[in-house]
Structure 1
Amino acid sequence: MGAAFLACWPWENLGMFKYALYGPLVGRAVASRAWERGSPDHWLFLLLALFGLRAFTYQLWSSYSNMLFLTRRRRIVRDGVDFEQIDKEWDWDNFLIMHILIASAAFYAFPSLRHLPAWEPRGLLVAAILHVVLTEPLYYLSHRAFHGGRLFARYHALHHSSRVPTPFTAGFATPLEHLVLGALVVLPLAGACAAGVGSAGLAFVYVFAFDFLRAMGSCNVELFPAGLFRAAPFLRYIIYTPTYHTIHHTGKASNFCLFMPLFDRLGGTLDAASWELQEKNRAGVDEVPDFVFLAHVVDVMQSMHVPFVMRSFASTPFAVRAFLLPCWPISLLFMFMVWAWSKTFIICYYHLRGKLHQTWAVPRYGFHYFLPFAKDGINDQIELAILRADKMGVKVVSLAALNKNEALNGGGTLFVNKHPDLRVRVVHGNTLTAAVILNEIPNGTTEVFMTGATSKLGRAIALYLCKKRIRVMMMTLSTERFQKIQKEAPEECQQYLVQVTKFRSATQCKTWIVGKWLSPREQRWAPSGTHFHQFVVPPIMEFRRDCTYGKLAAMRLPKDARGLGSCEFSLERGVVHACHAGGVVHFLEGYKHHEVGAIDVERIDVVWEAALKHGIRPA
């Protein structure tokens, strides 16, 4: 059986091309220079500006609700928004397209609308009265009707299928619902125009306030001080709160009003626990994560790959895109603000095995880690994050790539030695990173070439491979460091570790393990058909078309991870870097030791098997 009438958007199969529907309006506005006050199509410029403001309003509320460093304590539904809900709400703005097409048609049908005055203060009073007298009660009645059996199943169930309310959820509904809502928005404006007090300014103020309050109600963060309603109890019936709306959204047959709970009171559908829950949510909940991944920003562009900038972009693997370029100066300004603030902040969280896992970010960018004078400041920030986690009761803190740099803090040993009484376990996660790289090497491999061979990861990989009787050409100019690693290998395996100092030594080897950045010129030494395994940050450029390139070591989280809605850098959905996964395994296994400093080669297989046991799979 086909979909119900007006239950689907006519352009839902167009994808991003749906925005071409704005094309005729934008083209007309440009052709007539509609931004000039004397243009006969100046009304069209104002209409486009109004709908741009509407979209921006929902985006700003979405950004705020995703700023977990500000809002996490006062979130109402504690779960994160997952990929399924993000995809479902991807076209949340369909109603804006419908409304602007209807509005422009109305302006063409009624030319007098094009000549409204800029502002008429009496119109605001008329619109406010009509809103209370008409819009509020009609919305209440229509909303209750949409909760009837057939109407709910065919139309309104889609809106309630979003598990966590967000500002975009407010726009996620069927065409029929938005036609009804649009008509209710028009009523006060039409009434003001009929009374001779309509104006362009009134349209901006009323429609903006309408969208502002709808997005606020769905933001999932309690905003109103509880004392406000105790001091002025009548306000409880004048303005709804995010908690009030969320009670309705999460499935209860109550709290149907638009913005004024007064109509729920009159209709007998007001949930008696609304104000008690509002006070509780406003007071906040200190939710302690069991596991924290301490990440860092790579560069200015990548700093925009977070849910509070653009949720949809953060839910896809990071790539530099054209629409980011105009935002670059804003992001740069934010970078300076973060430097001045110098506090770790929460980017996202998810639940795994019923436990809360969070990603915190150190407010430092990738290039900072290579500035000698920044070393102490960066370590101070990492140390503060670890001590904060320890005080909160976090079980495990896992350090991201540059936060555990050997030259920076010895792979985390600095903090463990400085604070021997830490209850939180500090983990670099490199044991699992080594396991991922080693398990990528095909069976039957007899020889590998490795750069970054004397690094923490390089050492562990070389020692592991030599025990498997695989010849490892270790690219290093330091004979002393090479010999130190060679002596760690069993005597009968030491012959499989070979020091090389020039790339030409690897011209016949098709398995390269890259732990130090390779220029295109250095890559030329690899024979055709070479595969580059990598553990270098940032990854090397994919210069050779006749070779293949591995991604950074990563693993896929189990399917029962809940609330995961953002991608970790350029990785696919549900995939995290191996050091992140290594920290998760450390927590799930309940290991009591710190995993810092040199990698214990004997634990590589142990950690690998533990990851697989918990459903964490190679990506």
Structure 2
Amino acid sequence: MGAPLSSWPWDNLGVYKYLLYGPLIAKVMYSKPWEKGSRQDHYWCLHLLILFALRGLVYQLWYCFNSALYLVRRRRIIKDNVDFKQIDEEWNWDNFLILECLAVAMACLSFPSLQNLPLWDARGLLVALLLHVVISEPLFYCSHRALHGFQYLFNHYHFLHHSPRVPQAFTAGIGTPLEHLMLCVVMGAPLLGAYLAGVGSVGLVYGYVLLFDFLRCMGHSNVEVFPNGLFESFPFLRYLIYTPTYHNLHHMEKKSNFCLFMPLFDVLGGTLDDKSWKLQKQISSGNNEVPDFVFLGHVVDVVSSMHASFVFRSFSAIPFATKPYIVVLWPGAFVIMLLMWAFSRTFLLSFYTLRGRLHQYWVIPRYGFHYFLPFGSDSINNHIEQAILRADKLGVKVISLAALNKNEALNGGGTLFVNKHPDLRVRVVHGNTLTAAVILNEIPKDVKEVFLTGATSKLGRAIALYLCRKKIHVLMLTLSTERFEKIRKEAPLECQQYLAQVTKYEAAQNCKTWIVGKWITLAEQRCAPPGTHFHQFVVPPIISFRRDCTYGQLAAMRLPKDVQGLGMCEYTLDRGVVHACHAGGVVHMLEGWTHHEVGAIDVDRIDIVWQAALKHGLRPV
């Protein structure tokens, strides 16, 4: 049995823990505080729910800021990224909000006079500030130092708060019930004092509590927000307000910087870390990290844009799927899309480390449908070109292009940029060689015939030429006899007989292996016989209409186990899995290959790239 108050009583409830708010919601609906003449003695329930919703918003907004790497990457304190393990550890970060909500509700029921506070009294602000400095700060300092000073207390009550590797806003909410009950006392003392002095107000409760949360989130942020010049101009501020660097030192070393918000108490207690100001100056001055590899992605649609790592962490940390609450937020995401379209720039989305090398996701602010607008090609190519030139200037070794960024009709699979800038040091890679390898290695060895749509695309051509060399019949769906003949002539003479042109889906009604490179409808899927397996390399993936058939995922590979800092799922893929074109760029970088991989796929290199991927620990899904 664990120590008392070391675990949350609703741990086993999962998402049903939010039903604990039910009595408050019911009381609000029963009392109808917004109607004139209704019972106003319960209006505090509404304020309580609003307040705790706003508190959750403060933590979410700080997380969004902390994760907007395109804005804050140069001022990060700990260079690592938040990984899936930390995200899972912090999944229930909001437990303390439920605890404090219930605690305040019980206090209001016990002392009805708390329900009748005026809206505002300016004197309460001064009283609360004074009590915060005199009571809250020293009380927190002593209790916090005790949690570290006694091994039993640390092991049973405080270790959880220090378990995350990279402090984030949500880390501030991680802790045991005992810790947060102590915080309730620390935060409630100034408010209770103001109330007893007759100067308490609803506005003071909102303002003090939200400011308290704001400062806690700021301290747990992994981004230094204060310019060092501020402290050089006003040195006394160093003792009145802590910085994210100051509090991060406490999380890293656990032997100093115990204050709540005011380092003055660490000075008085002799627990100030000597490195605090020097490190703050160093980090606030900015730092530049040059990645070895960049994957240049794009947004698929408006809904999937909310799967970005800096929006909702609990959403981006699992494979993408449309959720009801995401649909509700669609109008806001649509407006943001228009703003990004008007004031667009390539931005850093996420990063991870593999074999000691930094890999970054860059995203251009273009959505899937933008690529099919006839007037948008030049704008998209300009964005891709700027990203490549930026990577080249930084010293990036390899930049890999995601699905639509290497569209043949758009830029010839990246050929446009290589031809325009022949002196590029960065290697441009479309990754399609490994994509082809993944698809080909999914096909059972005993297959004698396949049906191929998108047959004259880069991938379709490479797959057809590879399979015909293996003496597998390929039914190539295309209306262009000229393009078919051009591909057929690339095959060895003795293998050309295994390539056949078809113009209708009905031609594959006896073929159970379909390789789909072009989106197909339900009617077209019905042409496949029962038991067909649909391999695919089409974006977006085809819809699984047939229950009597099986559907493969987009070509993908699982990253090696030693990858670090990966905390976002790549679209619909599982954790630790990336699209094959992404993995192809990783392999290109790890192998140190010096050629560009653009344009047509070199069929002779398919097996070479596949073996290189396996050698470096990447595995098929």
The two structures share one fold, judged by TM-score above 0.5? yes
**Once the 2 structures are TM-superposed, how far is the Cα of residue 326 of structure 1 from its aligned partner?**
2.3
- 1:576 corresponds in structure 2 to 578
In the alignment, the residues of structure 2 paired with residue 463 and residue 202 of structure 1 have an alpha-carbon distance, to the nearest angstrom, of: 73
Aligned pair partner of 1:471 in 473, 489, 495:
473
Code of the aligned partner of 1:8: S
Structure 1 position 162 matched with structure 2 position 164: yes
Structure 1 position 437 matched with structure 2 position 435: no
- 1:366 corresponds in structure 2 to 368
**Once the 2 structures are TM-superposed, how far is the Cα of residue 36 of structure 1 from its aligned partner?**
4.5
Name the SS for the 1:605 alignment partner.
helix
Q: Residues 34 and 44 of structure 1 are in contact (CA less than 8 Å); yes or no, is this contact kept in structure 2?
A: no
Code of the aligned partner of 1:149: Q
* CA-to-aligned-CA distance 1:450-475 (integer Å, 9 cap, x gap): 00011000000000000001000001
* CA-to-aligned-CA distance 1:562-606 (integer Å, 9 cap, x gap): 100000001000000000000000000000000000000010000
**Once the 2 structures are TM-superposed, how far is the Cα of residue 19 of structure 1 from its aligned partner?**
0.4
In the alignment, the residues of structure 2 paired with residue 16 and residue 252 of structure 1 have an alpha-carbon distance, to the nearest angstrom, of: 33
**Once the 2 structures are TM-superposed, how far is the Cα of residue 86 of structure 1 from its aligned partner?**
0.2
- 1:328 corresponds in structure 2 to 330
Structure 1 position 455 matched with structure 2 position 457: yes
**Once the 2 structures are TM-superposed, how far is the Cα of residue 559 of structure 1 from its aligned partner?**
1.0
- 2:259 corresponds in structure 1 to 257
**Once the 2 structures are TM-superposed, how far is the Cα of residue 111 of structure 1 from its aligned partner?**
0.4
- 2:507 corresponds in structure 1 to 505
Q: Residues 341 and 366 of structure 2 are in contact (CA less than 8 Å); yes or no, is this contact kept in structure 1?
A: yes
Aligned pair partner of 2:206 in 204, 207, 225:
204
In the alignment, the residues of structure 2 paired with residue 326 and residue 472 of structure 1 have an alpha-carbon distance, to the nearest angstrom, of: 46
Name the SS for the 2:224 alignment partner.
coil
- Residues 1:185 and 1:35: Cα distance change in structure 2 (over 3 Å): farther
In the alignment, the residues of structure 2 paired with residue 461 and residue 588 of structure 1 have an alpha-carbon distance, to the nearest angstrom, of: 25
Code of the aligned partner of 2:510: Q
Name the SS for the 2:291 alignment partner.
coil
Name the SS for the 1:555 alignment partner.
strand
Q: Residues 249 and 257 of structure 2 are in contact (CA less than 8 Å); yes or no, is this contact kept in structure 1?
A: yes
**Once the 2 structures are TM-superposed, how far is the Cα of residue 502 of structure 1 from its aligned partner?**
1.3
Q: Residues 245 and 280 of structure 2 are in contact (CA less than 8 Å); yes or no, is this contact kept in structure 1?
A: yes
- 2:483 corresponds in structure 1 to 481
Moved more, 576-585 or 245-254: 245-254
Structure 1 position 280 matched with structure 2 position 282: yes
TM-score if structure 2 supplies the norm length? 0.99
Name the SS for the 2:376 alignment partner.
helix
- 1:527 corresponds in structure 2 to 529
Name the SS for the 2:375 alignment partner.
helix
- 2:15 corresponds in structure 1 to 16
Q: Residues 295 and 401 of structure 2 are in contact (CA less than 8 Å); yes or no, is this contact kept in structure 1?
A: yes
In the alignment, the residues of structure 1 paired with residue 308 and residue 543 of structure 2 have an alpha-carbon distance, to the nearest angstrom, of: 24
Code of the aligned partner of 1:45: L
Report the count of equivalent residues. Answer: 618
Q: Residues 29 and 35 of structure 1 are in contact (CA less than 8 Å); yes or no, is this contact kept in structure 2?
A: no
Code of the aligned partner of 1:90: W
In the alignment, the residues of structure 2 paired with residue 303 and residue 130 of structure 1 have an alpha-carbon distance, to the nearest angstrom, of: 45
- 2:124 corresponds in structure 1 to 123
Name the SS for the 1:460 alignment partner.
helix
- 2:428 corresponds in structure 1 to 426
TM-score if structure 1 supplies the norm length? 0.99
- 2:494 corresponds in structure 1 to 492
Name the SS for the 1:14 alignment partner.
helix
CA RMSD, 1 decimal: 0.8
In the alignment, the residues of structure 2 paired with residue 36 and residue 217 of structure 1 have an alpha-carbon distance, to the nearest angstrom, of: 41
**Once the 2 structures are TM-superposed, how far is the Cα of residue 308 of structure 1 from its aligned partner?**
1.3
Structure 1 gaps of 5+ residues are none
**Identity among equivalent pairs (%):** 67
In the alignment, the residues of structure 1 paired with residue 57 and residue 540 of structure 2 have an alpha-carbon distance, to the nearest angstrom, of: 34
- 2:540 corresponds in structure 1 to 538
Name the SS for the 1:13 alignment partner.
helix
**Once the 2 structures are TM-superposed, how far is the Cα of residue 34 of structure 1 from its aligned partner?**
2.9
- 1:184 corresponds in structure 2 to 186
- 1:91 corresponds in structure 2 to 92
Q: Residues 58 and 167 of structure 1 are in contact (CA less than 8 Å); yes or no, is this contact kept in structure 2?
A: yes
* CA-to-aligned-CA distance 1:123-174 (integer Å, 9 cap, x gap): 1100000000000001000001101211111111111010000000000000
**Once the 2 structures are TM-superposed, how far is the Cα of residue 307 of structure 1 from its aligned partner?**
1.8
- 1:566 corresponds in structure 2 to 568
In the alignment, the residues of structure 2 paired with residue 479 and residue 507 of structure 1 have an alpha-carbon distance, to the nearest angstrom, of: 21
- 1:30 corresponds in structure 2 to 29
In the alignment, the residues of structure 1 paired with residue 343 and residue 119 of structure 2 have an alpha-carbon distance, to the nearest angstrom, of: 42
In the alignment, the residues of structure 2 paired with residue 582 and residue 539 of structure 1 have an alpha-carbon distance, to the nearest angstrom, of: 20
Structure 1 position 382 matched with structure 2 position 384: yes
Runs of 4+ aligned structure 1 residues displaced above 4 Å come to: none
In the alignment, the residues of structure 1 paired with residue 312 and residue 337 of structure 2 have an alpha-carbon distance, to the nearest angstrom, of: 17
**Once the 2 structures are TM-superposed, how far is the Cα of residue 35 of structure 1 from its aligned partner?**
3.8
Name the SS for the 2:256 alignment partner.
coil
Name the SS for the 1:532 alignment partner.
strand
Structure 2 gaps of 5+ residues are none
* CA-to-aligned-CA distance 1:444-497 (integer Å, 9 cap, x gap): 000000000110000000000000010000011111111111111110011000
In the alignment, the residues of structure 2 paired with residue 474 and residue 26 of structure 1 have an alpha-carbon distance, to the nearest angstrom, of: 61
Pairs within 5 Å for 1:268-307 = 268-307=270-309
Code of the aligned partner of 1:444: D
Q: Residues 294 and 400 of structure 1 are in contact (CA less than 8 Å); yes or no, is this contact kept in structure 2?
A: yes
In the alignment, the residues of structure 1 paired with residue 21 and residue 431 of structure 2 have an alpha-carbon distance, to the nearest angstrom, of: 49
Pairs within 5 Å for 1:67-86 = 67-86=68-87
Q: Residues 34 and 43 of structure 1 are in contact (CA less than 8 Å); yes or no, is this contact kept in structure 2?
A: no
